[in-house]
Chains A and B, each alone.
Chain A
Amino acid sequence: MASAEVRAIRRRIKSVQSTMKITRAMELIATARIGKAQVRVAQAKPYTQKMNEVIRNIAHATGSLKHPLLERREPKTVGVLVVTSDRGLAGGYNSSVIRLADAAINRHQRDGLRVRVYTVGAKAQAYFRYRKYSIEHAWLGVTDTPRYVNARTIANILLDEYATERVDAVEAYTTEYVSALTQTATEWNVLPIEPPAADDDGTAVVASGYTFEPSPEEILGRLLPRYLEGTIFGMLLEASASEHAARRRAMKAATENAEELTRILTREANQARQAEITTEISEIVGGAEALSGG
């Protein structure tokens, strides 16, 4: 019959191992999700590239781009869009982007600007609600597998806020998917729209002599909201890929820790059992000697 100490250690080993089963499963799921998310990022690329090309062509045809969505206003109120995940257990994924956004909000407030907060994901919502920020819009259930319609909804609301001058600029705080190993929290200016820089993806052959139906200005007016949706969609896809990558890494580390802990605990259990046996033997020997000696 094992002593209380040995039993306690064995119980801990069991608990560590059942946690390990969960973290390993989560790691495998995240790994599968990264692949899918990366494919979706790649599939969205042609659309964005073509759209950049069209905007550059319009810029070329009209000399300069003019549209309310492109014009810089003196900011009095800044909109801050924070993109996080709905669920945790993703290492530093949420905290690093929230930290970046929080620092920016404090900076804006010190500069005497009003801030309006928009959140994607339950984590950002919880953080800003706990700190008593009023959240203008919170989107949930988006980040796991973002759909284009999500990007459209977000873009429409931001455009409306911008058009009615409730905000004079919108910044997004999100995570850029650099590689499977590196994801960085970044800041990105959403509104006013910054038109794509010439040849930034090397695809465009800017051509002259286009016929525009309707006028270039009108096409630009239709195009810019679509452009915004497209870039927000790209941002959501990258954030999603980053989330899965961060979760995979965190769960891999957790699984490895559990393995290490199991090893240490097993050794402790063995030592305790050994000590127990030694004690028992010395008791028996001691008892026998006492009897024979008497």
Chain B
Amino acid sequence: MATNFQVDIVTPEAVIWSGEAHMLLARTTEGDIGVLANHEPTMAALATGAVTVRHDSGSVTAGIHGGFLQIYRNQVTLLTDRAELTEGGVEEARAAASALRDAEVEEAE
């Protein structure tokens, strides 16, 4: 059984992160989701929050506001039009996600 899976974080302007991971944490509209290898096929709507990708040489965090998560055959795709990779920890990613949400509110006004 595979212990790693492919992760792609895709925005309309670029693929902001792509690589192998052994665990992924994200916040969906229904609550937090943790993904390991061989997860069942899932499609979820993402909420505002941090995404953490743990891979063999460390971890990556990103702030995300809205979007979709698709899991299929060890291939995890996060589709979002508002995402930002962050240095440091989950806290910073959360702050980035809130900033993205505020940006949306400002645009609407």
Contacts and interface: CB of A to CB of B under 8 A. Distances in A.
Given A152-B81, A153-B107, A214-B29, A46 B10 contact: yes
Nearest to A40: B13
Contacts of A151: 12
Contacts of B107: 149, 152-153
Interface in A210-227: 210-214, 216, 218-219, 222-223, 226
Nearest to B69: A213
A42 to B, nearest CB: 10
Interface stretch (A14-22, A51-59, A121-129): A51-59
B43 A211 contact: yes
Interface string A179-214: 000000000000000000000000001010111111
B81 A148 contact: yes
Contacts of A213: 28-30, 33, 42-45
Best-buried of B28, B43, B77, B79 by chain A (most CB within 10 Å): B43
A16 to B, nearest CB: 42
Interface residues of A, number: 35
Nearest to A58: B43
A44 B43 contact: no
Interface in B5-41: 8, 10-15, 28-30, 33, 40-41
Contacts, number: 87
A214 B30 contact: yes
Contact of A47 (B11, B28, B66, B72): B11
Contacts of B28: 213
A219 to B, nearest CB: 5
Contacts of A43: 13-15
Nearest to A48: B12
Contacts of B81: 148, 152, 226, 229-230
A210 B42 contact: yes
Contact of B12 (A57, A216, A219, A230): A230
Given A213-B28, A226-B68, 5 more contacts: A211-B42, A211-B43, A218-B45, A222-B66, A222-B68
Interface of B: 8, 10-15, 28-30, 33, 40-45, 66-68, 70, 72-73, 77, 79, 81, 107
13 contacts: A47-B10, A47-B12, A50-B70, A50-B77, A51-B79, A148-B12, A210-B42, A212-B42, A213-B30, A219-B43, A226-B67, A229-B12, A230-B81
Interface of A: 40, 43-44, 46-48, 50-51, 53-54, 57-58, 147-149, 151-153, 205, 207, 209-214, 216, 218-219, 222-223, 226, 229-230, 233
7 A-B pairs with the lowest CB-CB distances in the bound complex, closest first: A213-B44, A213-B30, A210-B41, A211-B42, A47-B12, A148-B12, A43-B14
